[in-house]
Structure 1
Amino acid sequence: MADDPVEPQPQQRAWSNPRLTFRRLFGLDRSGPPPPQTLSGAPWNVWTIPNAIGFVRLALLVPMLVLGLSSDDGTDALPAILFAVVAWSDYADGIAARVTGQYSRFGALLDPIVDRLLVICGVVICWKFETLPRWGIAILIARELYLLVAGRLALRRGIELKINWWGRWGVWPTMSAIFFAMAGLDTVAHVLFYVGLALSLMAAVVYTRDALSATRAAPSS
């Protein structure tokens, strides 16, 4: 797909690829502005190594969901392994982007979509076999729908919210809870699920606070 050249924004001109330390390679150090290739208005640049990993992750969701739903009790080994592969390979595409410098707007959008679809597929399996509490799953789904609607409204007002650390830390307990539930380890799954749910709700509160602050600070038209 060909895109027209985009005039770089001021923050794009000032950006330079930071030194690749261990912490930055594995996403522990996220200081500094995002790569200009990932910002709104940048070319899609679909065909990159990180995006190829993202496409493989996306394709693995189908057999994982089919195998999980067709199991006897939702705790078969193969769908649990596929879930873990898709979850952990999230690091792989990030590392590939940092090593190769192949950042892209498409990849910045694809990665969180795959992560959310992974959680949705896992939640569907856990809901069917009630391997995690359905009331908690319902709250988690309501939270995702709220952020989806609120995020759209924020974008229409020209407000782009950044991922906060509550949200970052809430992802892995939630994903780990789904994995352990699919693996049949109920106690570990439940403990991690409650931790992830609490962090996710706190993230939603912070997103709401930031959106309201940005709305008040925005100049009136």
Structure 2
Amino acid sequence: MKWTISNQLTLGRVVLIPVLIAVFYLATPLAYWVSAIVFSLAAFTDWLDGYLARTRGEETAFGKFLDPVADKLLVATALVMLVSADMAPAILAVIIIGREITIGALREWLAQRASVIVHVSQMAKWKTAIQMLAIVLLLLHVDVMGFSMHETGLVLLWLAAVLTLWSGYEYIRDAWPELKEGSIDSSSK
């Protein structure tokens, strides 16, 4: 395995998850700020590691495996914490986490079929950006200059859930011919 800067950043994102958990459960106003900063830092490494891997030609099989796993772990952890603290509706966490599991499995299945390359859609990129911002604002959970970060975060999380369903639909729609062919192949054996 090649230990690139991108892979180190991705692994760093995983290492930040227990830090986020520990800080979040301190439940003080300062902890809200620190957990929002820790999550923001982790979310930024998601963008940075991909950018560095592409621009430096350092894409690795390990990075392609670990990056989406780190992203899903980070988001799922934050959503579960927010739901457990009654700071976000459980239905939104179910929609977002359920889509990630479903589309992750679909992408893995399609990747095993030699002729299929699955690219991240533009809608999925918007979904991720809005989702990350929503989680940061929900973790912050305070008013800033008279604006409720929590309420703004909730609105953005609802928007992220809609985009989550939309981008999930796009992946399934685009994969449908391959899914139909796969079901025909398996029924004929």
Assess, with a 3 A threshold, how the Cα gap between structure 1 residues 138 and 81 changes in structure 2: closer, same or farther.
same
What residue in structure 2 maps to residue 192 of structure 1? 156
State how many pairs are aligned: 177
What residue in structure 2 maps to residue 171 of structure 1? 128
Shift of 1:157: 5.4
Assess, with a 3 A threshold, how the Cα gap between structure 1 residues 193 and 89 changes in structure 2: closer, same or farther.
same
1:182 aligned partner, one-letter code: L
Identity of aligned residues (%): 25
**Deviations for 1:121-140, whole angstroms, at most 9, x for unmatched residues?**
11021111121222222222
Secondary structure, aligned partner of 2:118: coil
Gaps of 5+ in 1: 1-44
1:174 aligned partner, one-letter code: Q
Candidates 75, 82, 87, aligned match of 2:38: 82
2:139 aligned partner, one-letter code: M
Shift of 1:176: 0.8
What residue in structure 2 maps to residue 145 of structure 1? 101
**Deviations for 1:160-204, whole angstroms, at most 9, x for unmatched residues?**
533222211100111111110000111210121111111110111
Shift of 1:208: 1.2
Secondary structure, aligned partner of 1:76: helix
Shift of 1:79: 1.3
Say whether residues 1:128 and 2:87 are aligned partners. no
Shift of 1:111: 1.4
* Higher alpha-carbon deviation: 69-78 or 88-97: 69-78
Asked whether the 8 Å contact 2:36–2:140 carries over to 1, the reply is yes
Please give the alpha-carbon distance, in whole angstroms, between the structure 2 residues aligned to 1:72 and 1:187: 19
Secondary structure, aligned partner of 1:130: coil
Pairs within 5 Å for 1:33-44: none
Say whether residues 1:162 and 2:126 are aligned partners. no
Asked whether the 8 Å contact 2:95–2:164 carries over to 1, the reply is no
Shift of 1:149: 4.1
* Higher alpha-carbon deviation: 208-217 or 103-112: 208-217
Please give the alpha-carbon distance, in whole angstroms, between the structure 2 residues aligned to 1:203 and 1:168: 9
Q: TM-score, normalised by structure 2?
A: 0.81
What residue in structure 1 maps to residue 138 of structure 2? 181
Say whether residues 1:92 and 2:48 are aligned partners. yes
Please give the alpha-carbon distance, in whole angstroms, between the structure 1 residues aligned to 2:175 and 2:47: 28
* Higher alpha-carbon deviation: 62-71 or 76-85: 62-71
Pairs within 5 Å for 1:200-211: 200-211=164-175
Pairs within 5 Å for 1:54-69: 54-69=10-25
